[in-house]
Structures are given as structure tokens and as C-alpha cells.
Amino acid sequence: MRLPSKYETIRQILSDLKQPEYRYAQIMDAIFKHNVGEYGRMTMLPQFLRDELTRMLGPNVCRIVPVKELTSQQVNKVLFAIAGDERVEAVRLTYERGWKSYCLSTQCGCGFGCKFCATGTIGLKRNLTAEEITDQLLHFRLNGHALDSVSFMGMGEAFANPYIFDAITILTDPQLFGLGHRRITVSTIGLLPGIDRLTREFPQVNLTFSLHSPFDDQRSELMPINERFPIHDVLKALDHHIRHTGRKVYIAYILLRGVNDSTTHAEAVAELLRGRGPVEHLYHVNLIPFNSTEVTPDNYQQSESNRIKAFVGILKSKGISVTVRTQFGSDINAACGQLYRSE
Ligand code: SF4
């Protein structure tokens, strides 16, 4: 059964109480323009309505509760308590010139068991509702932070949770968060039904595919999902996505020392992405140095910097556009799943 978000419930309450149309806009303005976080403090509303909202939804607009916070210069990581005595994490990254980017969780834990991932060791507890996903961002909004961009790269696989699409609808609703579609990035290990649905319903939302090995046998070992959705099938869906949307697709590639950072790997990645016709130039590779503080089932290490340089050099020499993602927050274990485990 699909759970309605608080925004839908508020509409329902207003309609049940035969309230005028403008009440909904008043409440949303209070939340999103004036950062009012409690229904009881919405003084522009009649008292009975404040009471009814509080009775139905609880006193606080944001229904997930921060229980632990870690902050370094550029990273602020918050652990939230959610219903069922569970926990999820969200991260705020502050870039130079003040750009604020948020990394949200879509599931509590994750059942896909990628070998290099701390969240994978927790197993799947449950999917988050659309409200629990977007409340992670609401927490920062109500605390006065600008919301510049959002990615679903926290705990969980976004496309394994059908609520991700409701969450995107809430984030892009002009009366609510009002985020531009291009400010949102969904990251996936390659779930084809989710990729197809994003292409159809949210063509302007950014898409990142986590590749991590260009070889099916090795990728299946690192990421068991590859047995179900092998590399070539996913790339075909991504070609279609690019043709349909005219947008770039990002290929994420975590570099693990001695595992997937060889010259042969770099050449094979280039080979996969070349010769894809008119869409070829819209693939962009993001190399991510592995965060060695992660607690993972296997003991992976970060690639040496000369290996990273060589990998970049090979991709560039084959005409592939590539960047190395800056490492943020390894000093506070910002890698996903770590704060959860420390509890
Ligand atoms: S990398 Fe993503 S899909 Fe894989 S186990 Fe971790 S959270 Fe799950």
C-alpha cells in the first residue's frame, strides 16, 4: 500500500475541514519560505487548524529526528531516527563559493551486497517512504541552509525503492522544494526498469551508473546485480536515455588498488564507451578514489596516485571525458553506512 506524504495529508485535512484554497499555499510558504518547523507556530492559521494539523501529523513538520551529527570543514553528516527504531544518514557538502550539495538515503540498509560498500554489510532493513527521503532535505531547509543540488547516493539503491519517483515529484514541486530537475542526480547500480522509468518520466534528472569494472565476470563478483542486469544491457538502456533526453550520463568508477585500476581495465572502460555512435560524447566518467576508512567485507585499499593518473591518461587518450572526484570527509567517515554502523 502506498503511504501518502504529509503534503497530501495536509491537502486532505484542508479539504475535510472545507478550508479555502489559499490555506495550502499559506502552509507551504510557512515551511519553505519562512522555515517554520512546527504547525503550532503557523500563526497565520486559525487556532483550530493548527491544532488539527498537530493532532494528525504531530507537532513537527519534519518527521525524522536528528540523533547524531558529525561536522568537518566541508562536510556535515546527520544520522536520523526513522519509524521502527531505525536510522538513516544524509550528508551536506559545502563546496568552495558556498555551493551546497546534499546526499540523501533512499533505503535503510541495502540488500544488493556490493563488496566494496559499508551499507551493503547492513542488509536491507526497509525502503524509505517519499516523506522520509525528502524530510532529510527538509531538515536542512528548516535550519536555513540553501539547497543547491541533491543526489541519491546515500544508503540504498534508489531504483529499488518505488518511492524514489514520488520523492522526485515532491522535490521538484514549485510549491514545495522547487528544485530544478537538473539539480537532482539519481545514482544506480543498473536496475533497468528504474532507468527506463526515469527516462520516460523525469528526462531532465541526471543519471549516474556505477560501473566499477568493465568485465562482466569481475563486475558480477564485485556487484552481484550484474548477473541480472549485465553491463551491455545497461549501456543499451543508457544509450536510449541519452538519445531520448539529449543529456549526459555519468559513469561512476570506484578505483580499488590492484583490483580494477590496471591499464587493461582503463582500456576496456574506454572500449565500452567508444563506438556508441552519436551518443558517445555524452558519456562522462567519474573516477572515485576508494575511501579506505570504509568497513567492507573485503579489505580494499585506495589506488596509488600514479595509478589514478595513468587511468585518467588512458581514458583521455582514447577521447573519453573524465574527472577524478574530490574526496570529501574521509576524516569523519563520510562514506555511506558508517555513521549507522557506529551506532
Ligand atoms: S553500493 Fe549501493 S547498491 Fe551496492 S550495496 Fe552499497 S548501497 Fe547497495
- Write the pLDDT tens digit of every residue in 208-228: 999 999 999 999 999 999 999
Please report where in the chains the cell 533505503 appears, as a residue. 107
Is the pLDDT at 34 greater than 70, yes or no? yes
Is the pLDDT at 56 greater than 70, yes or no? yes
Which amino acid is present at 75? V
What is the distance in A from the centroid of ligand 1 to the CA of 107? 10
Shortest CA distance to 161 belongs to which of 219, 104, 209? Answer: 104
pLDDT of residue 299: 81
Mean pLDDT calculated for residue range 290-312: 85
Mean pLDDT calculated for residue range 111-131: 92
Mean pLDDT calculated for residue range 1-13: 94
284 three-class SS: strand
Mean pLDDT calculated for residue range 20-48: 97
* Class of residue 126 by CB neighbours under 10 A (exposed 0-12, middle 13-18, buried 19+): middle
How many C-beta neighbours within 10 Å does residue 178 have? Answer: 13
Span(s) in the chain for CATH 1.10.150: 6-57
339: its cell numbers: 555513521
- What pTM, to 2 d.p., does this model score? 0.94
Mutate to test the pocket of ligand 1, among 157, 186, 222 (most ligand atoms within 8 A of CB): 157
Q: Is 120 in the pocket of ligand 1 (CB under 6 A)?
A: yes
CA separation, residue 315 to residues 43, 140, 215, 218, 319 (Å): 58, 38, 16, 20, 7
Q: List active site positions.
A: 89, 336
Is the pLDDT at 326 greater than 80, yes or no? no
What is the distance in A from the centroid of ligand 1 to the CA of 210? 10
When pLDDT is cut at 50, 70 and 90, the band that residue 327 belongs to is low
283-289 vs 321-324, strand pairing mode: parallel
Mean pLDDT calculated for residue range 277-283: 91
For residue 113, the ligand 1 atom closest to its alpha carbon is 5
pLDDT of residue 275: 84
When pLDDT is cut at 50, 70 and 90, the band that residue 1 belongs to is confident
Shortest CA distance to 26 belongs to which of 1, 45, 5? Answer: 45
When pLDDT is cut at 50, 70 and 90, the band that residue 339 belongs to is low
Please report where in the chains the cell 583521455 appears, as a residue. 316
Is the pLDDT at 333 greater than 80, yes or no? no
What is the distance in A from the centroid of ligand 1 to the CA of 254? 12
What is the distance in A from the centroid of ligand 1 to the CA of 191? 12
> 75 and 330 in contact (C-beta within 8 Å)?
no
Mean pLDDT calculated for residue range 141-166: 96
Is the pLDDT at 313 greater than 70, yes or no? yes
269-276, Cβ contacts within 8 angstroms, sequence gap of 24 or more: 269/211, 269/214, 269/315, 269/320, 270/314, 270/315, 270/318, 270/319, 270/320, 271/214, 271/318, 272/211, 272/214, 272/231, 272/235, 273/320, 274/318, 274/319, 274/320, 276/235, 276/239
Among 1.10.10, 3.30.70, 2.60.40, 1.10.150, what is the CATH number of 6-57? 1.10.150
Span(s) in the chain for CATH 3.20.20.70: 65-342
Which protein residue's CA is at the shortest distance from atom 7 of ligand 1?
156
How far is Cα 116 from Cα 254, in angstroms, rounded to an integer? 9
- Which fold, 65-342? TIM Barrel (3.20.20)
Is the pLDDT at 94 greater than 80, yes or no? yes
